[in-house]
Structures are given as structure tokens and as C-alpha cells.
Amino acid sequence: MKFKFLLRQFISWVHRNRKFTPSDCHFEESSGTIRINLGSGRIVAPGWINVDNGFTILMATFPLWFLKILLYVFQNRKNISKQIEFIIQLNRKKCYFIHYDLNYGLPFPDGVADFIYSSHFFEHFTQKGGVAFLKECKRVLKPGGMIRICVPDLEKFVQLYLKGERIRFLSVFFSELRNVDECYGRHRSMYDYNLLQDVLIKVGFKKITHCEYKKGTTPDLDILDAQNEMTLYVEAMKQ
């Protein structure tokens, strides 16, 4: 699996200088607002630009005809063909996919986005990396644009500990890594509402709001807010 990890790093490095404008992403077809989902994984909604450096999103950028050939080639390999079928479904969802490592910043020009959404991704940065990432989000948002950040809620996990659910509490800090590729799944920071509010204020966001599951100003929350129970939902505006 070290090979898979190195391959992912290598492709990310090759793609590091990519830049996209909304017209590259064919957004004249969508709602007229520019919506970007960062670290989207497989949770995608129609009309959004989805950025992730996983293999699923890399394959979702392949043309449909090529995916169909792959499906034909691997028709007898149940696991692989199931994965390709899923990617074909993603490919048909009227979304736009960008394979990009967000450690390199955001691959968009200044002031183009109306909405930025990010779920269970921000905690993959160190605190310093998180500030740099939020500065990039602010740069890419239009004045009046909104960001919604969803992360595991430190306060809820501490409550778990206090209730005696110690193993579940510890699992968020010390999860088993099945292979080296899952280094991408490693958390490097954690936030409660006050900590996240502080970092958003530091970067210059305004109107910071502690939201609830599937509630807020961001569109498509019925699809995008897929992680409920232990999650902190926060929205903020660029003025």
C-alpha cells in the first residue's frame, strides 16, 4: 500500500500548478452561483465543484466513455466493477471534479466563489495549516460569500469521555491505520466552537454562526451534511 500512497503524492505533485476559472468548470449550466466543496470525498451535490486528492475523485475526472471501457474490462472483478459503477454515477451527477492536493492552496482565482463547503476535512491540517487554508478560502470567496466548515466537535467528544465512553473518545485520536495511504485520513487538529470561531476571526471572517445539522445559509445541506452526531457545523461570511 506504500505504492498507492506514493502514487497519490506523485499525482498530487504533478497537478500542483493546476488553475481553474469558473468557466473551465462549465458553471454557466448551474444555478448561477459558484459553489466549491473542498475535501468532498464521495459526498457531492449537483452544481458543485468538488476538490479532493483521492483516487475516487481522480477517476471521476475521467471521461464517461473511458469509465465504461474500464467497467467492461473489469466486469468479472466484483469489487473493482462496483467501484467503477459508483464513479460512473458520480460522473453523471452534473458536478465538476478537480483532483488537487489542497496543501498547495486553492486552484482558483480571487473572489470567484459564492459558497465554500468543507466537511470532515479541515481537521486534517495542523493549526498553522488550517489558518493558511482558511486564508485561501477567504481569497477565493466573493465579498458576501459564505464558508461552512464541519469538523468533529471536540466538546462532544469530551462529553463522551465524561459519560464514560472512553474507548470511543480515544478512537478519534488514535484510530487504527489499515495502510499507509490512510495517512491522508489522519487528524492533525481538533476544534470546539470557540476554537474554530477564534481562527475564523483571526483570518478575518465575519458573521460567524454555530449551526445545526442540515441548517444554515449554504445550499444543498440535505445532501452535503452527511455526518451528523459528533459534528460541529459553523458558517462564516467574507465581508
Could you list the residues that contact ligand SAM (CB under 6 A)?
39-41, 43, 52-54, 101-103, 119-121, 124, 184, 226-227
**By C-beta, is 195 or 226 nearer to ligand SAM?**
226
DSSP per-residue string spanning 60-97: HTS-HHHHHHHHHHTTT-HHHHHHHHHHHHHHTSS-EE
Q: Which is nearer to ligand SAM, 175 or 239 (CB)?
A: 175
CB of residue 143 vs ligand SAM: minimum separation in angstroms?
Answer: 26
Number of residue whose CB is nearest ligand SAM? 41
Q: In the complex with ligand SAM, which residue's Cβ is closer, 30 or 119?
A: 119
Cβ atoms of residues 33 and 25 within 8 Å: no
> Which residues have C-beta within 8 Å of that of residue 63, sequence separation ≥ 6?
none
Q: How far is the CB of 106 from ligand SAM (least distance, A)?
A: 10
CB 196 within 8 A of CB 234: yes
Rounded Cα–Cα distance for residues 80 and 117 (Å): 29
Q: Measured from the CB of residue 82, what is the shortest distance to ligand SAM in angstroms?
A: 18
Nearest distance, CB of residue 29 and ligand SAM, angstroms:
23
Question: In this complex, which beta carbon is closest to ligand SAM, that of residue 89 or of residue 103?
Answer: 103
